Amino acid sequence: MSAIGDLLLAPDVRPFAVAAAIMVTLGGIELISMLIGFSISELFGKEVAVEGDNHGTLEGLFLWVNAGHLPLLILLILVLGYFSIIGFFTQGLAHAIGLPVPAWVAGLVAGVWSLPMTRVTSRRIARIIPRDESYAVDEADFVGHVGEVSVGPLDHGLPGRVRVKDVFGNWHTVPARAGPESDALPVGADVLLVDRDAKSFIAVAARGAVIEQRQSSNRA
């Protein structure tokens, strides 16, 4: 146990310890935000803007790594996680055989290997989580649709999540909050998306014929 403690405190693993601490902090913040009905990762989106002469190269690298089109925060957590794991493994192996490796060398190895591993994981995660947006359907088209509150309740504070079906029958989860004159909308409630601003959709309780319309749409 003391050997492991000495390794974790060694200067040549400090970059990986810092990366692990940042990863845990970001992951904790995201988890807590999701529990209260708001995802920090939604603020970062899925695109990146690159300026300068290396626009094509840097943007191409980002798109290659983010094969699953995950939010930037989730992608950052993955990169930091792999960077720290590979770095600790590299330095642990070096300490075991008595061959010191400079921190920058181990960091280079960890950085190079973390990118393809993040790409593979990004694609796998994208297959099991719901898509927040569609490349075939404009999100503005969801206005006027009925959905179900999946993360909430929806109130006038931070957005929750609503599960809604597009015209092609594909399900999406979109950020939403209750309308200014609407009461809090609990998880499982049928809601009508009546408007959209820069941050989220505006939802009100769906009743009567609107719910029947949704049920017939679901059966179809």
Residue 134 lies in a domain: no
Is the separation of the CB atoms in 112 and 82 below 8 Å? no
pTM over 0.75: no
| pLDDT(40) > 50 | yes
pLDDT of residue 9: 62
The answer to whether 164 and 172 have CB atoms below 8 angstroms apart is yes
How many Å separate Cα 87 from the centre of its chain?
A: 24
Are 147 and 196 contained in the same domain?
yes
Domain-ending residue, one of 128, 161, 186:
128
Q: Can you tell me the distance from the alpha carbon of 15 to that of 106, in angstroms, rounded to the nearest whole number?
A: 10
Enter the tokens of residue 147: 């959905």
Asked whether residue 133 is domain-assigned, the answer is: no
In 10 A of CB 139, how many CB atoms?
17
Residues 211, 104: one domain?
Answer: no
* Number of domains making up the chain: 2
Q: What would the mean pLDDT of 25-53 be, rounded to a whole number? A: 61
Which whole number is the average pLDDT over 14-21?
88
* φ and ψ of 63, to 5 deg: -65, -35
Are 117 and 27 in the same domain? Answer: yes
Is pLDDT of 41 > 70?
A: no
* Domain shared by 124 and 143, yes or no: no
188 in any annotated domain: yes
Is pLDDT of 86 > 90? Answer: yes
Is the domain of 145 the same as that of 100? no
pLDDT confidence of residue 135: 44
Tokens representing 181 are: 């004159």
Task: Indicate whether 38 pLDDT > 50.
Answer: yes
CATH of the domain at 188: 2.40.50.140
Q: What is the pLDDT of residues 112-124, one digit of tens each?
A: 999 999 988 888 8
Domain boundaries, position 105: 2-128
pLDDT of residue 51: 43
Pick the closest to residue 87 from 101, 106, 104 (CA basis). Answer: 106
Sign of the CA dihedral running 71, 73, 74, 78: positive
Mean pLDDT of the chain: 76
**Could you tell me if 75 and 156 lie in one domain?**
no
- Looking at the domain assignment, is residue 22 inside a domain? yes
Q: pLDDT tens-digit profile of 161-219?
A: 898 887 767 778 888 889 888 888 898 889 999 898 878 899 998 875 455 555 455 54
Are 129 and 163 within 8 A, CB to CB?
Answer: no
| Nearest Cα residue to 78 out of 6, 8, 129, 134 | 129
Looking at per-residue pLDDT, the higher value among 10 and 109 belongs to: 109
In a domain, 92, yes or no: yes
